[in-house]
Amino acid sequence: MKHFSNFIAGEWRQHSGRTMDVLDKYDRTPIAQVVASSEADVDSAVRAASAAFEAPELDARGRSDVLVKAAHLLAERKAEFVTTIVQEGGQTLAEATREVTRAVDVLINTAEESNRVVGDMIPLEGAQGGAGKIAFTTRHPLGVVCAITPFNSPLNTPIHKIAPAIAAGNPVVCKPASQTPISCLLFAEVLHAAGLPPGWFNVLTGSGQTAGDLLMRHPEIAFYHFTGSTEVGMKLSGQLGLRRASLELGSIAVTIIADDADLEDAIPSTVRAAFAKAGQVCTSTQIIYAERKVFDHVCKGVAQAAAELRAGDPQAPSSDIGPLISPAEAERVAMWVTRAVDAGATLVAGGSRDGPVVQPIVLLNAPDPTEVICREVFGPVVTVLCVDSIDAAIARFNALPYGLSVGVFTRDLDKAFQAARRLRSGTIHVNAPSSSRIDLMPFGGVKDSGHGKEGPRYALREMTEERLIVFHNVAPRQQPC
């Protein structure tokens, strides 16, 4: 079993406090031991980042070079990271491989963006009183960035926060999820080997109730980049005062299938979106709204496709779906499904459970206000509901408290543009399901799904401040003859 200390100021800090076990998510055996960080640990990490910010050793080109080298080093250690993600996160081999590949791309794309941190020219001469003035904006780093990340993407989600922060000139303190901290700790080795100076990246492990709460209250943190539940996001917002944050919070992701949709594309792609990573993705399709004309066809197709998926040991190449993050979460999902069936829903696929492994579940016509309709399931459950029109589907989606991602399948341009105009969601995919992310996209939600954007270019702008510079009494330009 591996033992990890916190990574602070470029070194592994020895400790004499409590430790926590990290478990293999399939067989529940311990695979690593990490630190349960104390207040002293948190303060040490933040102060190391503050010192790095006050004495910066890297310019924009230097930061770009570090991120490019980190991408190459991560690619060289791909097999190690894949194995780690499968064990600590329960992802299948195919899912973990995709995650590492995406993470390498994010590093390279962010390195490119670090060389393009620019402001704008302001055309003051076009305004009354603007003659003789030249104005432009510049962008500058904010200070220490705190990245708090979830369990479901233990490498790529942290990198979406860490890399843009560094690219913008902000040192980082990262607290990965207590269930899946190893990938982030290994990534600290990658950044250190890539030449990132001490203090620019620090990793603290521990629970959200202790280390997370201490970070929320630390006065030297300038920006928080958080992915997690709406409840915790609201708690964090209450601690911030005037400090800034990017919050990617809860979701009930929806895919709408119109009666003119290409069902041969819509059904299998939506099933993949519902059950990838055992449904533990904020954009996993949880509800399918199918227009009445195609409702029966969609129900049959989704149920059949779900039944063909193989759930089990994520290290087995034959497995399509791995375990949930814990047996307790599997029990909760099973309980929610039972309540939905008791309330009138029809179970047409899946439902069996073996410890943390849940066979993909398809429900029909679950009524309000059952949990599978009104709360984020975060498990391998999708509910198909019949609607009379696209208008009805849009109204039902907009009535949800969340607005992160929605997919719409239709061949009718009028329906597509109507959905694009009216759906209140951070992302609207046309002819793709809700979970269709490309890492370059500006990604974020509205309503109770939070605010702020991920995606290298957009996250980098979130973590810089804009300054306006105005030169007065500039000599007028000579008029041409």
Q: Which residues are catalytic?
A: 248, 282
**Spatial CB neighbours of 376, under 8 Å, sequence gap ≥ 6:** 250, 251, 252, 282, 286, 402
| Bond before 369 cis per omega within 30 degrees | yes
Measured CA to CA in angstroms, residue 392 lies from 160, 231, 296, 373, 456 at distances of 35, 29, 18, 16, 35
Encoded tokens for 125: 């001469």
Strands (DSSP E) contained in 285-349 are 285-291, 346-349
β partners of residue 347: 363
Between the two ends of the chain, the Cα-to-Cα distance in Å is 81
- Parallel/antiparallel/unpaired status of strands 244-248 and 253-257: unpaired
Residue in the block written with tokens 């059904």: 267
Residue in the block written with tokens 């030169």: 471
Nearest to 248 by CA among 48, 443, 481, 19: 443
Give the integer Cα–Cα distance in Å for 290 and 409: 10
Nearest to 31 by CA among 190, 182, 207: 182
Q: What strands lie across the sheet with 244-248, from one edge to the other?
A: 11-13, 6-8, 201-203, 172-175, 144-148, 221-227, 244-248, 450-451
DSSP structure class, residue 212: I
β partners of residue 188: none
Give the integer Cα–Cα distance in Å for 23 and 25: 6
Nearest to 407 by CA among 264, 286, 321: 286
Measured CA to CA in angstroms, residue 104 lies from 67, 177, 272, 363, 406 at distances of 10, 21, 23, 37, 27
Measured CA to CA in angstroms, residue 305 lies from 87, 185, 296, 333 at distances of 27, 37, 14, 20
DSSP structure class, residue 174: E
HSE (CB half, 13 Å, CA atoms) of 98?
Answer: 10
